[in-house]
Amino acid sequence: MGNIKRWQRTVRRRKTEDRSQKSDICTLSSVLCLGVLAIVPAAWAAMPGARVPPLSRGQAPPLRRQGNPRIGYVYPAGGQQGATFQVVIGGQYLDGVSNVYVSGAGIQATVLEHNKPLTQREFTLLREKLKELQQKRLAATARLPDGQGNSNKAGEQEGAQDSTTPQWTAEDEQMLAEIKKKLANPPNRQANPVIAETVTIQVTIAPDVEPGERELRLGTPSGLSNPLVFCIGQLAEFSEKEQKGSTTPALGSRPAGSLVGAGSAPAQPEPVMSITLPAIVNGQILPGDVDRFRFEARKGQQLVVAASARELIPYLADAVPGWFQATLALYDANGNEVAYADDYRFHPDPVLFYEVAQDGEYVLEIKDAIYRGREDFVYRIALGELPFVTSIFPRTNCRSGPNSPRI
Ligand SMILES: [Ca+2]
């Protein structure tokens, strides 16, 4: 009888342990599921061939969950072999950005600065805090006879007697300075949230890297951003600088939602940037923007002007309507249009061919077909007597017989 009772107790204990183990397994499964989500970037970084270093160990997890980091443009979207330069990346949910990942070897990039515009609520709260601090400083200095914050004995005694006298401390002074600094960057109500944040990075390209397209991502505590194209070129690069206060609106100063600026061409032409061929030209098209580049050409030169725009950023999810439709036009020294292109066969990015008729200055012009524009209307133009493959025939390689494809 005693044995039976012991056996029953053993069975009950084992059942309890089984239930406990099942519960533990369920809990563990949940944790693993969440853990997998958290370690995907690290796992991806550890994959053979991936050139993504793991996130630094000192990084603290985000205090609150933010959206997936996203980048909307990279400007300039590439550079020359052996060059060191700064690149601005626009995006969203980039808090804590600390790493830049570029596919392939030979490119080093570090984060210099992250700029996130204040929200209206943050701006209002900071202004209230600033007002509060200013009143506190006024009250604190008003109690002091010399008014300079250097209390004398009488002031100290007076302050000691009145326990409600506010004390102006070094921390208050520091906070006041920080708030003033933050308020200098007011919220941009018209900026599009998906590209409102900017990250400035420093890029160094080794001289011997292979030219071509790479992928660039940003690493944040929330994970990796989407990739965007980053090009490595061999030609000299020129990048236009948008001038604030010019006829072209400053970055972010126009409503991004109002992409369509049809008919709103700039009242005055922008300054023309001088370049020398062959070259790669980088720029951004803002609303109503028309970019122009002047260069010297000799009679008989066969120029190829190939723009990359949609190729760099194929899809703007929030743009209504659609995308950057770049157009190219070439003008001679008298201002006559000698060539124009708004696409190339079935590709939306234009390519322009022109045999130079006479020596002299020429001006290349690029704009959106209907004068739309935004910071993420980024382009690169290859310009000069450059090799350009227009067709290959046949596109197959025969096992037997002569094989002489025509290019
Ligand atoms: Ca521009």
Spell out the residues 6+ positions from residue 262 whose beta carbon is closer than 8 angstroms to its own. 370, 371, 372
**pLDDT, tens digit, 9 for 90 and up, residues 177-187:** 888 888 877 76
**260 and 366 share a domain?**
yes
Q: How far does residue 288's CA lie from ligand 1's centre (Å)?
A: 9
Residues 281 and 394 grouped into a single domain: yes
Indicate whether 272 belongs to any domain.
yes
Q: Give the per-residue pLDDT at 58.
A: 39
Predicted local confidence at residue 243, as pLDDT: 62
Q: Which residues in 218-252 are b (16+ Cβ under 10 Å) and which e?
A: bbbbbbbbebbbbbbbebebbbbebeeeeebbebb
Mean pLDDT of the chain, nearest integer = 77
For residue 158, pLDDT beyond 60: no
Of the candidates 236, 232, 229, the residue with the CA atom closest to the CA atom of residue 212: 232
Q: Percent of the chain having pLDDT more than 70? A: 67
| Residue 323 or residue 131, greater confidence | 131
Q: Do 216 and 230 contact (CB within 8 A), yes or no?
A: yes
Distance 304 CA to ligand 1 centre (A): 21
Does 261 score more than 70 pLDDT?
no
8-state DSSP, 99: E
252 C-alpha to ligand 1 centroid (Å):
13
User: How many domains does the chain divide into?
Assistant: 3
Residue 113 parent element (H or E): strand 107-115
Neighbour-count burial of 275, counting CB atoms closer than 10 A to its CB (0-12 exposed, 13-18 middle, 19+ buried): buried
Asked if the structure places residue 55 within a domain, the reply is: no
86 CA to centre of ligand 1 in angstroms: 17
Same domain for 248 and 346?
yes
Instruction: Determine the pLDDT at residue 294.
Output: 96
Of 283 and 246, the structure prediction assigns the larger pLDDT to 283
Q: Which residue has the tokens 């001679």?
A: 332
pLDDT in tens, 324-383: 999 999 999 999 999 999 999 999 999 999 999 999 999 999 999 999 888 999 999 999
Alpha-carbon torsion 86, 89, 90, 94, what sign? negative
Ligand 1 centroid distance, CA of 39 (Å): 40
Mean pLDDT within 295-321: 87
Q: For 26-40, 50-64, 165-179, 237-251, which range has the lowest pLDDT when averaged over its residues?
A: 26-40
Q: Which phi and psi (to 5°) does residue 256 adopt?
A: -65, -30
Same domain, 364 and 262: yes
pLDDT band at 11, cuts 50/70/90?
Answer: low
CATH number at residue 306: 2.60.120.380
User: Could you tell me the distance, in angstroms and rounded to a whole number, from the CA of residue 345 to the centre of ligand 1?
Assistant: 26
Q: If you average pLDDT over residues 12-30, what whole number do you get?
A: 48
Residue 93 lies inside a defined structural domain of this protein:
no
CA of 119 to the centre of ligand 1 (A): 27
Q: How confident is the model at residue 316 (pLDDT cuts 50, 70, 90)?
A: confident
Residue type, 303: L
Q: What is the whole-number distance in angstroms between the Cα of residue 210 and the centre of ligand 1?
A: 29
What does the alpha-carbon distance between residue 330 and residue 357 come to, in Å, rounded to a whole number? Answer: 12
Looking at 36-50, 197-211, 274-288, which range is the least confident one?
36-50
**Rounded to the nearest whole angstrom, what is the distance from the C-alpha of residue 29 to the centroid of ligand 1?**
52
Is pLDDT at 264 greater than 60 in this prediction?
A: no
CB 78 within 8 A of CB 233: yes
**Local confidence band at 245 (pLDDT 50, 70, 90 cut-offs):** very low
Q: How far is CA 219 from CA 191, 272, 314, in A?
A: 23, 37, 22
pLDDT at 269: 59
CA–centroid distance, residue 289 to ligand 1 (Å): 6
pLDDT at 190: 61
CA 28 to chain centre: 38
| Both tokens assigned to 360 | 């002299």
Evaluate if residue 80 carries a pLDDT over 80. Answer: yes
Cα(266) to centroid(ligand 1), Å: 11
- Looking at the fold, whether 172 and 275 belong to one and the same domain comes out as no
Helix axes 120-142, 170-183, angle to 10 degrees: 140
Which pLDDT band holds residue 406 (cuts at 50, 70, 90)? confident
Which residue carries 């922008």 as its tokens? 270
Q: Which residues pair with 308 in a beta bridge?
A: 380
- For the ranges 60-69, 88-97, 189-198, the lowest mean pLDDT is seen at 60-69
Average pLDDT on 156-169 reads 63
Asked if residue 262 has pLDDT above 50, the reply is no
Per DSSP, helices labelled H in 249-325 are none
Confidence of residue 48 (pLDDT cuts 50, 70, 90): very low
Flag whether 294 is in a domain. yes
Query: Does position 34 have pLDDT exceeding 80, yes or no?
Result: no
Domain containing 179 equals 120-151+163-183
Mean pLDDT of the region 22-50: 39
Residue 265 CA, ligand 1 centroid: distance in Å: 13
133 and 281 belong to one structural domain: no
At residue 22 the predicted structure's pLDDT band, cuts being 50, 70 and 90, is: very low
Centre of ligand 1 from the C-alpha of residue 198, in Å:
18
Q: Which of 247, 317, 291 is nearest to 381 (CA)?
A: 291
Going from the Cα of 292 to the center of ligand 1, the distance in angstroms, rounded, reads 8
Both 255 and 330 in one domain: the answer is: yes
Q: Kindly state whether residues 167 and 277 are assigned to the same domain.
A: no
The confidence band for 74, taking pLDDT boundaries of 50, 70 and 90, is very high
Ligand 1 mean position, distance from CA 164 (Å)? 58
Question: What confidence tens digit (pLDDT) does each residue in 98-142 have?
Answer: 999 999 999 999 999 998 888 788 888 888 999 988 888 888 887
Same domain, 129 and 272: no
Same domain for 261 and 342?
Answer: yes
Tell me, in angstroms, the distance from the centre of ligand 1 to residue 251's CA: 10
DSSP conformational letter for 101? E
Which residue from 256, 248, 245, 244 is spatially nearest to 191, judged by alpha carbons? Answer: 256
Question: Quick check: 385 pLDDT over 90?
Answer: yes
